Amino acid sequence: MEVAPLVQSLKGKLVVSVQAYPGEPLRHPETMAQMAQACEEGGAAAIRCQGLSDIAAIKGRVEVPVIGLWKEGHEGVYITPTLRHAVACVNAGADVVAIDATARPRPDGRTFAQTVRDLRAQCETLVMADCMTIEDIRNAVACGCDLVSTTLSHNKPAIQTTMDEGPDLDLLRQATSEFPGLPIICEGHVHTPADAAAAMGAGAWAVVVGTGITHPTSLTKWFCAAVEG
């Protein structure tokens, strides 16, 4: 598999996920753009973000690549669930489009493989496969995805976890062993620098951190739990 220059630039680097959830105080494109710029200044090699307004605002603020997605709903396939969502992310400015790579049914009836095929037929873009299982990872590799990630392996949002619930290193080790040299990304529940270092030690191409850097509500809860016992 030929690795795209953008993907090569992420090897051994940190990607920061800059997202705010519906109803939260920071949920505004300008706020997310400011946070993305702050992360870039801290050394982030790319920014992962969701929603067309956030993608456009962040793309206009940072120099590093933007990994875009569009979340819709909360159950089943909600990370860039259809071809329409994926094309819209490209049009908003995403350099890479992140798509749920599971075998679960999608609103438009396409499979993941069909979505990737049709997206590439319409747009010039890189694709990041958000996976839950090793079978998802195998399928994503077979589809020729540019990056493959462990994003969905915990099957619950990072904001619903404690600091002690770390990344899925077992899945990461299995994937990197099975596909040596391919861009396998560790994402999901990387809450501390030690978690990130462990992911790199397990063979990750790069590490994505979101909640542990850009979600102050979760960070505050973790500190409150420590202080209050």
To 10 degrees, what angle do helices 134-142 and 169-178 make?
40
Q: How many domains does the chain have?
A: 1
The predicted structure's pLDDT at residue 157: 66
- Has residue 156 got a pLDDT over 90? no
Question: What phi and psi, each to the nearest 5 degrees, are found at residue 186?
Answer: -95, 120
Q: Which helix (H) or strand (E) is 124 found in, with range?
A: none
Q: Which domain holds residue 210?
A: 5-228
What single-letter DSSP state applies at residue 102?
S
Yes or no: say if 76 and 48 are a contact pair by the CB < 8 Å rule: no
Per-residue pLDDT tens digits for 4-32:
999 999 999 999 999 998 899 999 999 99
Q: State the pairing for strand pair 66-69/126-130.
A: unpaired
Q: Give CA separation, 76 vs 23, 24, 72, 130, 214, in Å.
A: 21, 23, 10, 13, 25
Per-residue pLDDT tens digits for 25-79:
999 999 999 999 999 999 999 999 999 999 999 999 999 999 999 999 878 999 9
Tokens of 188: 């999901």
Computed from CA positions of residues 49, 171, 83, 66, in that sequence, does the dihedral angle turn out positive or negative?
positive
For the chain, how many residues are written? Answer: 229
Per-residue pLDDT tens digits for 85-104:
999 999 999 999 999 999 99
Give the burial class of 46: count Cβ atoms within 10 A of its Cβ; 0-12 exposed, 13-18 middle, 19 or more buried: buried
Mean pLDDT across the chain, nearest whole number? 95
Q: How far apart are CA 5 and CA 150, in angstroms?
A: 22
pTM attached to this predicted model: 0.96
- Has residue 159 got a pLDDT over 80? no
Tell me, what CATH number does 206's domain have?
3.20.20.70
